[in-house]
Amino acid sequence: MSRTVTRKASAKINLGLDVTGIREDGYHLLETVFQTVSIYDVVTVSVTKKSGIILTCDDPDVPCTEKNIAWKAAQCFCDAAGISEGVEIQIQKQIPMQAGMGGGSTDGAAVLLALQELTGAPLTMEQLNRIAVGLGADVPFFLMGGTAYAAGIGEDLEQLPAFETKHMVIAKGTSGVSTAEAYHRMDTLENPVHPQVQQLRSVLKKGASVPEVAALCGNLFEAAIDLPEITNIRSVMLEQGAWCSVMTGSGAAVYGIFESEETAKQACQALKKIVPFACCCETIA
| Residue in 8, 12, 18, 273 annotated catalytic | 12
> Is 50 annotated in the active site?
no
| Residue in 25, 138, 156, 273 annotated catalytic | 138
* SS3 (DSSP) at 76: helix
> Is 12 annotated in the active site?
yes
Active site residues: 12, 138
